[in-house]
Amino acid sequence: MKTPASQLISHLPWGTIWLQILQIDFLEVYTHFPGGCIAKTEHQMQAIIE
């Protein structure tokens, strides 16, 4: 899957809830899930852009 993790999460029904959780505790929570390393990198890139 080439879809960015952030887009994938936001398209899911509970995506908005997850985005809030990831913003609060992104590194500690999401890195425990598969693909967490990729998502962490994307999150850091987004933080720089924003």
How would you write the pLDDT of the chain (50 residues) with one tens digit per residue?
A: 465 666 665 566 666 666 666 665 655 655 555 555 555 566 665 666 55
Q: Which residues neighbour 37 within 8 Å (Cβ) at sequence distance 6 or greater?
A: 31
Range of the domain at 25: 5-49
Q: CA distances (Å), 36 to each of 22, 31, in order?
A: 11, 4
The whole model's pTM is what? Answer: 0.20
Q: How far apart are CA 11 and CA 3, in angstroms?
A: 11
Number of independent structural domains in the chain: 1
Q: How far apart are CA 4 and CA 13, in angstroms?
A: 17
